[in-house]
Amino acid sequence: MTSHLNRSLIKNLDLFKSLSDSALDAILQTAQVSRLLSGAAVFRQGEVADRFFVLLHGHLKVVQVTPDGEQVVVRYVNPGDVFGIARAMRRPHYPASTIAVQESLALGWMSSEWDQFTATNLNFASNALHTVGQRLQDAHERIQQLSTEEVEQRVARAILRLVDQSGLQTNEGIVIDFPITRQDIAEMTGTTLHTVSRLLSAWKDRGVVTSGRKRVVVCAMDELIRLAEGREAPAPSKLTNRIESE
């Protein structure tokens, strides 16, 4: 009799790439399933990092709170991503909280098993290094943006990143397929919800996006890319005029 956890669930995930079937089975043996309601925390900043996870379905956000209570969104976790691997970096506590922004499903292991995994399979540690390297790269990009770019560019880039990771083509444009507020976007870009709201409103007027409560849809990718690169909108040509412009 087989477990309801199927090898195929994880065999294509980055972390487990090129592991043997038997290794995968052994790993699944010790996995625990976490079902998460929207708003539920998988773990909280400061807790002992006793488990690590892979997200199978849904979306999580990783947030850090500063000493004086301000929040920063570190990143969003997408299906297939590993998270909570603080212990593998010899960090005894989670440096941030991870919270489901929609109903989600994750697989978890005890941190103590990490060494087991890496010892059994040489690729495992290398894969983890690859993942963390990617994150480091992302973090540096963000530092660069916070240091040198204006708010509008940063917000445009943040939305492009979200679209890239979780964009869903619909007939009104590409929608970010999980709930996200102005406040969230502000916490990703180092600005305020007010400024984000103003930007989205302005963009909506120009037909670049549509947006509603916890919802953002990109209508004109090209235009958004232009904004992200700091080039202002070109002088509005007759061709790009919108129909209902007066």
Partner DNA sequence: CGTCCCGTTGATCCCTATCAAATGTAGTGG
Partner DNA sequence: CCACTACATTTGATAGGGATCAACGGGACG
Contact residues: a copy of itself, CB under 8 A? 64, 66-68, 70, 72, 74, 86, 88-91, 95-96, 118-119, 122, 125-126, 128-130, 132-137, 139-140, 142-144, 146-148, 187, 189-190, 229-230
Query: Tokens 């994150």, residue?
Result: 135
CB of 168 to DNA, least distance (A): 17
- 194 contacts DNA (rule: CB under 7 A): yes
Coil vs helix vs strand at 217: strand
Among 34, 145, 166, 195, binds DNA (CB under 7 A): 195
CB of 74 to a copy of itself, least distance (A): 6
Query: Tokens 């007010």, residue?
Result: 194
Helices (H), 36-181: 113-120, 122-148, 151-166
CB of 203 to DNA, least distance (A): 10
Which of 43, 100, 108 lies closest to 76 in space, CA to CA?
100
Q: Pick from DNA, a copy of itself, none: which does 89 bind, CB < 5 to 8 A by kind?
A: a copy of itself
The CA-atom distances, in angstroms, between 11 and each of 14, 28, 32, 113, 114 are: 8, 10, 16, 18, 17
Q: Pick from DNA, a copy of itself, none: which does 152 bind, CB < 5 to 8 A by kind?
A: DNA
Q: Pick from a copy of itself, DNA, none: which does 182 bind, CB < 5 to 8 A by kind?
A: DNA
Eight-state DSSP code of residue 239 = G
Specify the stretch interacting with DNA by CB under 7 A; choose among 89-97, 195-203, 219-227, 237-245. Answer: 195-203
Nearest residue (CB) to DNA, 26 versus 151: 151
CB of 211 to DNA, least distance (A): 5
The CA-atom distances, in angstroms, between 72 and each of 2, 36, 49, 61, 210 are: 42, 22, 20, 10, 25
**Whole-number Å distance between alpha carbons of 22 and 16:** 12
Q: Which residues bind DNA (CB under 7 A)?
A: 150-152, 181-183, 190-195, 197-198, 200-201, 204, 211-215
